[in-house]
Amino acid sequence: MITVNGITLDWYEGKTVHDVIQEMNYLFPLLIARINGKLIPRNKYDSTEIPDEATVDIIHLMSGG
């Protein structure tokens, strides 16, 4: 189990930040991802695996008028 923005999600071996963003349907482009507080660069979303029990923050910035 992992927590993403306070929501509990299933965990599986090899689950990446990219997978989580897809699962949450986070379409917004200006995101910041942290696993247990550690910043994950955008170009590493599909290669960074999330450990079990992790707290993941997918911070949405703001945009628009």
Partner 1 sequence: MADREMITIEIDGKSVSVEKDTTILEAAQSIDIYIPALCSSELVEPYAACRLCIVEVDDGRKTKLVTSCNYPVRRPIKVYTSSKKVLRNRKITLEMMLSRWPNVQVIKDLAKNAGIEKARYQHPAVDLNPNACILCGLCMRICEQGIWENIINFTNRGAERAVRMPYDSEQPHCVGCGACAEICPTGAITMVDDPNQPYDAEMIRKAGMRITKEMIKYDEEQCDMRGVGTAHLVEIMDAYDLLPVMNYRYGKHEETPKISSDIFRKYFTKGKPDGCWLGCTMACAKAIEDFELKTGPYKGEKVLVDGPEYETLGGSSNMGIFDPYFVAEYNFYCDTYGLDTISFSTGTSFVMECYEAGVLDKEKTGGLEIPFGAKDAALELLHQIGRGEGFGLIVGKGIRYMKKYFVENFGADPDFVFDIGMEAKGMEYSEYVTKESLAQQGGYGIALKGAQHDEAWLIFMDMVNKQIPTFEDKAEALHYFPMWRTWFSLCGLCKLPWNDVEPADNAETDEPAKVPAHVQGYCEFFEGVTGKPQTMDSLIRMSEKVYNFQRVFNLKMGFGRREHDVIPYRSAGPVTVEEYESRQERYDTQLREDVGIDPTGMSSEEKVAATRKFREAQYEHLLDAVYKRRGWTNDGVPTVAKLIELGVDFPDVIELVKKHGG
Give the footprint of partner 1 on this chain (CB under 8 A).
Answer: 5-6, 18, 25-30, 32, 39, 41-42, 45-46, 57-65
CB of 57 to partner 1, least distance (A): 7
CB of 21 to partner 1, least distance (A): 9
CB of 13 to partner 1, least distance (A): 16
Query: What single string gives the DSSP state of each residue in the chain?
Result: -EEETTEEE---TT-BHHHHHHHTT---S-EEEEETTEEE-GGGTTTPBPPTT-EEEEEE-----
